[in-house]
Structure 1
Amino acid sequence: MSTTNIGFQVLPIVPDGNVYDVIDKAIEVVQKSGVKYEVGALETVMEGEFDTLIDIVKRAQLACIEAGASEVAVNIKVHYNPNGVSMEGKTKKFR
């Protein structure tokens, strides 16, 4: 499968209200994964093989639960093109 971009946002429900510490654990999963990524104000965008990226999203969701979230909603966006897509190709003209 070609290179895919996946943007995702975790929305943890945290009993003590410390949401950002829980979100940091999800981002840590992405950082340790080795895929190309960019953390934004509202979502993290990754680049790589679809199955790999979806697995990272699953692990990030689990990391939120392990960090104290009682539940987690996840918003996912996928951009797939059989010829491949890149984050740089979509943002280069703006930088």
Structure 2
Amino acid sequence: MTLSAHIQFIPLQEDAPMQAVDKAILIIQKSGISHEVGPFGTSIEGKMTDVLMLIQSMLKSDISKEFLLNVQYHVGQARLSNMDKVAKFR
């Protein structure tokens, strides 16, 4: 089963928060999961097991001593792909 998700990594109490965000994005990029980086988060799309493994690896990371990880999932057989959702606006 494939699903779409939107991930927002928010480092807390960081001297260089954007560097921590860049490291979080690097974890996503290295996962090999289809993704698109946006100004407020990163949208991903892939096999459910791969997406859940990615989320778990982000939770276990040492990017920041304290962070918020907001994740929204879109699950369903009839769901639109991420590109289908935004195609008419591009």
Question: TM-score with structure 2 length normalisation?
Answer: 0.87
The secondary structure found in structure 1 opposite 2:6 is strand
The secondary structure found in structure 2 opposite 1:44 is strand
Gaps of 5+ in 1: none
| Regions of 4+ moved over 6 Å | none
Distance in 2 separating the partners of 1:14 and 1:54 = 26
Distance in 2 separating the partners of 1:44 and 1:10 = 9
Distance in 2 separating the partners of 1:40 and 1:71 = 22
Gaps of 5+ in 2: none
Matches within 5 A, 1:54-73: 54-63=52-61, 66-67=62-63, 69-73=64-68
How far the C-alpha of 1:70 sits from its partner, in A, is 1.7
The residue aligned with 2:12 is 13
Percent identical: 29
One-letter code aligned to 2:20: V
Question: TM-score with structure 1 length normalisation?
Answer: 0.83
How far the C-alpha of 1:84 sits from its partner, in A, is 4.7
How far the C-alpha of 1:51 sits from its partner, in A, is 2.3
